[in-house]
Structure 1
Amino acid sequence: MIEKECLRWASKGVNIRYQIRESRGGYKAGALKEGLKHDYVKQCDYVVIFDADFRPEPDFLRRSVPFLIHNPDIALVQARWRFVNSNECLLTRMQEMSLDYHFSVEQEVGSATHAFFGFNGTGGIWRIAAINEAGGWNDRTTVEDMDLAVRAGLKGWKFLYLGDLQVYSELPSTFKAFRFQQHRWSCGPANLFRKMMMGIATNKKVTLYKKFYVIYSFFFVRKIIAHFFTFFFYCVVLPLSILVPEVYVPKWGAIYLPCIITALNSVGTPRSFHLLFYWVLFENVMSFHRTKAALIGLFEAKRVNEWVVTEKLGDKLNNKGKKSGLSKISLRKLLGDRVQVHELGFAVFLFVCGCYDFLYGKNNYFIYLFLQVITFTIVGFGYVGTIVPTS
């Protein structure tokens, strides 16, 4: 379809080409690197990047390129993501909350204060000279976008985020697709931190403040510690503290402060404020997967370079239509796709801790624990997101 559309515009005299590569070597980084090798790229100053499910408006280039033309120190113009299927299910609503906070707060503040912020991998336009100066696309991790952004930022290039320049895309609406996506988004940054930390620390051309900001704030706190703290504190330490009466966790640390921080996360999506409580419980469940992925990245374990294309619901339905002859599915595969043993194990652990607190505790933590048990159980049996029929 895309090829036919390109041919249609080419027949009207528009300078447009459709090109693909025959291998998946290097995954997305390999494709981007290959794309910049064509001869006609030498005549271009900028490259715009969109994933297959992104839908830019016709005036996208008119609204973004002038910032690069008139500001030679800007390497990247990043647009905001919007979502065509945010109302599809509860899973997509919660993803919208997280991503809206990321764009409306993290990216907006980073751009407004001229601080470093990461490239989101799509929906942005790069200055080719900045890509080349930073060393080009690198496939050493699964977060080639962050890798390039960090290297360009350390070279002194600046990034600009345009909140009113919006590009629509599709959110993964099945839990399996969402889990694979979160694995890549958590494992990749941790692995990149491992590979870049010493290089950044010993780089004599980078100021001490920028070193501290990138290593400590951008990588260590936001990409690693944030996952570890959420999982170990709310899913391990707090429940275990109930079993040890000598350990006391103050309520301001266990309840009040987290509630304030959580409420601030809703500023980007006020229409979903009523979902905050369940969103917190679900994020605690996902912190288990993110922590595991971050550890895999830090220690370069078996799945460190795993790249699974994030399936969207349209992709799954289209693929099922093409494979209509394979309507039968084994019970083993069905259980493997739906039942999550680790989540169910944590549900049992939290249930035991909740029962103990109900019988002997004084802080009524069992209310939170039982609600967390319900959330872990729902996820453990695969009843999260859109359920695609198996026949």
Structure 2
Amino acid sequence: MSSSGGVGSGVAEEVARLWRELPVRMDWAAVAAQWAGAAAAARAAVVVPAVRALVAVSLAMTVMILAEKLFVAAVCLAVRALRLRPDRRYKWLPIGGAAAATSSEDDEESGLVADAAAFPMVLVQIPMFNEREVYKLSIGAACSLDWPSDRVVIQVLDDSTDLVVKDGIDEVISYTKLRRGLCREGAEMAAAAAAVMQGRRWRAISSWRNAPSRRLDLVEKECQKWQGKGVNIKYEVRGNRKGYKAGALKEGLKHDYVKECEYIAMFDADFQPESDFLLRTVPFLVHNSEIALVQTRWKFVNANECLLTRFQEMSLDYHFKYEQEAGSSVYSFFGFNGTAGVWRIAAIDDAGGWKDRTTVEDMDLAVRATLQGWKFVYVGDVKVKSELPSTFKAYRFQQHRWSCGPANLFKKMMVEILENKKVSFWNKIHLWYDFFFVGKIAAHTVTFIYYCFVIPVSVWLPEIEIPLWGVVYVPTVITLCKAVGTPSSFHLVILWVLFENVMSLHRIKAAVTGILEAGRVNEWVVTEKLGDANKTKPDTNGSDAVKVIDVELTTPLIPKLKKRRTRFWDKYHYSEIFVGICIILSGLYDVLYAKKGYYIFLFIQGLAFLIVGFDYIGVCPP
């Protein structure tokens, strides 16, 4: 029998013996003493060894993360010192010998007008879902790209279901007006309005679509506006949302006009590329046949909106400036970010196309493409404006997808990566160990288990000693390595670390869900974009303004539209509140009894959990 089995059986026998020896008239003091003895025995035999094991595992993972951060920092330092820019490592020449695809008087005078035939056909895909606040931004930016109009196709993939976005319903007309015959669409529109009032979304959509003269979708209307300006833009919808974003992208590639295209530029609905985006990225693909993907950097238009967006900027700046740069420079691989990138269509086909088996279809495609021998290049000098989620609810949904999806993908591909014969041994080790295990599993695990569980629990166990280097020195170096991505926010580094520790609880739950393929493993919630909703009021005089008119009800046939009631406690996050209370209690115990000196960290970390738990982070949606 193993030692652990012997210890467990010994504890069980001790508990059984105590139960048998209970007298008929119990001496409660004696019983309490006996149970205290049993608890002490269980603590010495089970709890202390288990916590010691967690300390050892946590310290080992912390060292792994430290080594990875130092390696990334060294690579990026070497790249900057040696000026190993992408255009020096790969061939890059302006297409057609011209600096711009569109002509102007200055271009004509200097002879820089390029032959349009020299430019490859490019497909620009913009998948969107209920993006009422930002759809004009992405479509307008894509239609303004410098590229010959006959050599680019803008493809808008609209999966919207929102009545305002999808069907252009801009008024809720009173039943009195309907009955008086003032509604142009008559009975069908009346049924649609009634369904809206009753909250029957899908019935409303059906009724409205069957109306004699259905209004154009808002997104479709925007596409037609650009079509009128001579832009080659296609508006595509499908009958269902199967596969979510991956399904939409996959369907988009099936159209006949896509067969003429060689490359695909992808932008989410809140991304606004500069006009020279294609001119600066496509040449890498044209002149280097081994490159499958050109990824550019995200730049955030609302980074200073609130503390939540500042924290996100710090994390994502490190990801792009260091992690993506290091992966591109050493391994020619990194995780595709799903947007602001240009793909070679042949590489997508070679990798098996888009798959919807996880919620990180972008990472899935990138891993499969690199296993086929394709290379990626990160171009940090090209920046694309985008929006960060500013509400905590939207941020939590996003982080669940970004933590659950990679863990689920790792489970599905861990064997395939090791068995692959087309990439080198070191590239496979990088994929399996650095990219997935350390970056997607260990980072989330050690952050919560070590800083939010092991250290607080060690206060209650005098037998547990954590070395100073594991509590102070290593975490400090890791933090400094990550904080250099955004020097302007360095004064927020302590608050940022506390917040990241809080979010580790949510991320580790998501990672476990992905590994076990349970519960919300395939949950896909589109990240909410507020656009300028928090900054400016909508112009109600414009033709595209959304107007909601108070409903005048003069008949019992249409019940009143009831406001959705939200109980005040529904917004609280009870897991974070519970952990915060436990950490603060550990801090109090450290002050009064343990005297280990962890109480300052425990108090502020517990307070951070409570602040997030009571939803005092981010902005309130308009």
Instruction: Specify the TM-score bucket, using the shorter chain as the normaliser.
Output: over 0.9
1:177 CA displacement: 0.5
* Cα distance change of structure 1 residues 323 and 243 upon mapping to structure 2, 3 Å threshold: farther
Does structure 1 retain, via aligned residues, the 8 Å contact 2:584–2:607? Answer: no
AA of the residue aligned to 1:76: L
1:316 CA displacement: 7.8
Q: For 2:442 and 2:302, locate their aligned partners in 1 and report how far apart those are by CA, in whole Å.
A: 31
Give a deviation string over 1:337-371, Cα, whole Å, max 9, x none. x2111111001111111111011233310000000
Q: For 1:105 and 1:200, locate their aligned partners in 2 and report how far apart those are by CA, in whole Å.
A: 24
Q: For 1:61 and 1:230, locate their aligned partners in 2 and report how far apart those are by CA, in whole Å.
A: 39
Aligned position for 1:230: 447
For the residue of structure 2 that corresponds to 1:145, the secondary structure is: helix
1:315 CA displacement: 9.0
Does residue 90 of structure 1 match 2:307?
Answer: yes
AA of the residue aligned to 2:578: G
AA of the residue aligned to 1:372: Q
Does structure 1 retain, via aligned residues, the 8 Å contact 2:310–2:489? Answer: yes
Q: For 2:245 and 2:376, locate their aligned partners in 1 and report how far apart those are by CA, in whole Å.
A: 21
Aligned position for 2:165: none
AA of the residue aligned to 2:565: S
1:9 CA displacement: 3.9
Q: For 2:265 and 2:421, locate their aligned partners in 1 and report how far apart those are by CA, in whole Å.
A: 32
For the residue of structure 1 that corresponds to 2:522, the secondary structure is: coil
Aligned position for 1:74: 291
Aligned position for 1:335: 569
Q: For 1:178 and 1:364, locate their aligned partners in 2 and report how far apart those are by CA, in whole Å.
A: 34
Does residue 345 of structure 1 match 2:578?
Answer: yes
Does structure 2 retain, via aligned residues, the 8 Å contact 1:174–1:313? Answer: no
AA of the residue aligned to 1:82: K
Using structure 1 for the length normalisation, give the TM-score.
Answer: 0.94
1:238 CA displacement: 0.6
Does residue 383 of structure 1 match 2:600?
Answer: no
Does residue 273 of structure 1 match 2:483?
Answer: no
Does residue 167 of structure 1 match 2:403?
Answer: no
Aligned position for 1:370: 603
1:259 CA displacement: 1.3
* Cα distance change of structure 1 residues 134 and 58 upon mapping to structure 2, 3 Å threshold: same
Structure 2, unmatched stretches of 5+, are: 1-217, 539-545, 552-560
Aligned position for 1:50: 267
AA of the residue aligned to 1:120: N
Give a deviation string over 1:32-57, Cα, whole Å, max 9, x none. 10010000111100011100010111
For the residue of structure 2 that corresponds to 1:313, the secondary structure is: coil
AA of the residue aligned to 1:366: Y
Give a deviation string over 1:220-268, Cα, whole Å, max 9, x none. 1100111000000001111101110111111211112111211221212
Does residue 23 of structure 1 match 2:257?
Answer: no
Q: For 1:329 and 1:6, locate their aligned partners in 2 and report how far apart those are by CA, in whole Å.
A: 34
1:213 CA displacement: 1.4
Q: For 1:15 and 1:344, locate their aligned partners in 2 and report how far apart those are by CA, in whole Å.
A: 53
AA of the residue aligned to 1:300: E
Q: For 2:547 and 2:446, locate their aligned partners in 1 and report how far apart those are by CA, in whole Å.
A: 43
Identity %, equivalent residues: 62
AA of the residue aligned to 1:346: V
Does structure 2 retain, via aligned residues, the 8 Å contact 1:347–1:377? Answer: yes
AA of the residue aligned to 2:252: G
* Cα distance change of structure 1 residues 141 and 323 upon mapping to structure 2, 3 Å threshold: farther
Using structure 2 for the length normalisation, give the TM-score.
Answer: 0.60
Q: For 1:321 and 1:239, locate their aligned partners in 2 and report how far apart those are by CA, in whole Å.
A: 53
Aligned position for 1:217: 434
AA of the residue aligned to 1:340: H
Aligned position for 1:360: 593
Query: Paired residues, what number?
Result: 387
1:321 CA displacement: 8.0
Residue pairs, 1:281-296, within 5 angstroms: 281-296=498-513
Q: For 1:53 and 1:94, locate their aligned partners in 2 and report how far apart those are by CA, in whole Å.
A: 19
Match of 1:142 among 359, 366, 388: 359
Q: For 2:239 and 2:404, locate their aligned partners in 1 and report how far apart those are by CA, in whole Å.
A: 27
Q: For 1:272 and 1:113, locate their aligned partners in 2 and report how far apart those are by CA, in whole Å.
A: 28
Does structure 1 retain, via aligned residues, the 8 Å contact 2:332–2:377? Answer: no
Residue pairs, 1:114-193, within 5 angstroms: 114-193=331-410
For the residue of structure 2 that corresponds to 1:246, the secondary structure is: coil
* Cα distance change of structure 1 residues 37 and 275 upon mapping to structure 2, 3 Å threshold: same
1:322 CA displacement: 6.0
1:109 CA displacement: 1.3
For the residue of structure 2 that corresponds to 1:243, the secondary structure is: coil
Q: For 1:275 and 1:370, locate their aligned partners in 2 and report how far apart those are by CA, in whole Å.
A: 18
Give a deviation string over 1:49-68, Cα, whole Å, max 9, x none. 10001011111111111111
* Cα distance change of structure 1 residues 323 and 367 upon mapping to structure 2, 3 Å threshold: farther
1:132 CA displacement: 0.2
Residue pairs, 1:292-303, within 5 angstroms: 292-303=509-520
Between structure 1 and structure 2, the one with the greater Rg is 2
